[in-house]
Amino acid sequence: MNKNLLVVKDLKGYYRGTFGVVHAVDSVSLNVGEGERVGIAGESGCGKSSFAQLITGTTTPLLHYEGGDVIADGFNIWKIPPETLRKEVKCERLSYVPQAMLNSLNPVRRVREFIADMLKERTGRKHSVDEASKIAAEHFEKLGLDARVLDVYPHELSGGMMQRAIIAISTMASPKLLITDEPTSALDVTSQRRMIELMIDIQRKGIIKSLVCISHDLAALNQLCDRIVIMYAGTFVEEGKADDVINRPLHPYTRALMDSLLPLEPETKDKSLSSIGGVVPDLRNPPPGCRFHPRCEKCMKICTYREPPEIKKKDRVVRCWLYSRGRSK
């Protein structure tokens, strides 16, 4: 049995502001084992990024932690003081690469100076720039990246190169768990492929142990991950092996999502595609019962007032009343 690097239990996170309370992440549980690559997919506005912020303890101002446990390598990150989180957990145990990663480098300093700053903060010892670039160059070479990147300013790099450099920088302390939010979405297809290769490579070389990747691109997730979780309106609706979820989707939402995808295959041309009607519900007052029921084609009476149970079948989990007939009433 694999040790779980990340255990998320009943996690809740709401946005609170003058607009009301947005139930962005509502009772979500997830286990990530050692050596696993997990992908989280869903439409925009369904809480993927909020989830990433909550499991890394880096919430944006209006997002509040509301309950549940996030245990990353033995540390319950919402129960320990922020200083411990920053010093002992982040970078060494888990590293988070946010969606706006292209803005995370310092625009007025060269990449190696940025790394020197970071090393100083990490180790508490001032490194000379030469020393820092030596450490960084070693690490970059290990990942097959050009060490020349270290000598330039961020604006001189292309989007793909910058993103790969950021992934390299954030794995310098060999975190056990890497959490990336939309790592491939702003990139061209060729850079996208290199990015996917890089992330798999980092894991194979043992720099990181597990990976959580958040994306709306199911095809890219399928290449990168072993396990895929489908998120809808703040809840997980389906979970399973990447292959199973993509080729044999169970939940009506996953099916609809798959039907709206355009894979690059000869058959796509003649396929009649359908979009999912309606919009993602307003999470200020999510629909009662199953959150997908207003858009679901197979909606039953029970779906409109009772939350669907979690049905487990081997390594698949699905939350839908369709699969629980006769088992509970």
Among positions 21, 129, 152, 200, the unique one binding other proteins when judged by CB under 8 A: 200
Among positions 190, 326, 327, 329, the unique one binding other proteins when judged by CB under 8 A: 190
Considering only the stretches 20-28, 47-55, 103-111, 263-271, report the one whose residues sit in contact with other proteins under the rule CB under 8 A: 263-271
Distance CA 251, CA 205 (A): 36
Distance CA 325, CA 54 (A): 34
Site for other proteins in 268-307 (CB under 8 A): 268-269, 271, 273-276, 279
Among positions 263, 284, 306, 325, the unique one binding other proteins when judged by CB under 8 A: 263
Q: Which two tokens stand for residue 203?
A: 């894991």
Site for other proteins in 158-177 (CB under 8 A): 159
| Closest of 146, 159, 211 to residue 185, by C-alpha | 159
Tell the smallest beta-carbon distance from residue 224 to other proteins (Å): 9
Tell the smallest beta-carbon distance from residue 223 to other proteins (Å): 5
Among positions 24, 213, 231, 257, the unique one binding other proteins when judged by CB under 8 A: 257
Classified as helix, coil or strand, 10 is: strand
Tell me the residue type at 124: G
- Position 229 contacts other proteins (CB under 8 A): no
Listed in sequence order, the DSSP H helices in the chain are: 48-56, 82-84, 111-123, 129-142, 159-170, 189-204, 218-224, 242-247, 252-259
Distance CA 95, CA 240 (A): 24
- Return the number of the residue (128 or 190) whose C-beta is nearest other proteins: 190
- Position 192 contacts other proteins (CB under 8 A): yes
Site size toward other proteins (CB under 8 A) is: 37
| Closest of 89, 139, 83 to residue 115, by C-alpha | 139
Among positions 189, 285, 301, 305, the unique one binding other proteins when judged by CB under 8 A: 189
Tell the smallest beta-carbon distance from residue 65 to other proteins (Å): 27
CA dihedral over 261, 262, 268, 272, signed as positive or negative? positive
| Closest of 229, 173, 228, 221 to residue 199, by C-alpha | 221
Site for other proteins in 25-64 (CB under 8 A): 43-44
- Return the number of the residue (11 or 145) whose C-beta is nearest other proteins: 145
Contacts of 65 (CB under 8 A, 6+ apart): 12, 13, 54, 59, 78
Site for other proteins in 131-160 (CB under 8 A): 159
Tell the smallest beta-carbon distance from residue 226 to other proteins (Å): 11
| Sites of contact with other proteins (CB under 8 A) | 43-44, 159, 188-190, 192-193, 196-197, 200, 216-220, 222-223, 246-247, 256-257, 260-266, 268-269, 271, 273-276, 279
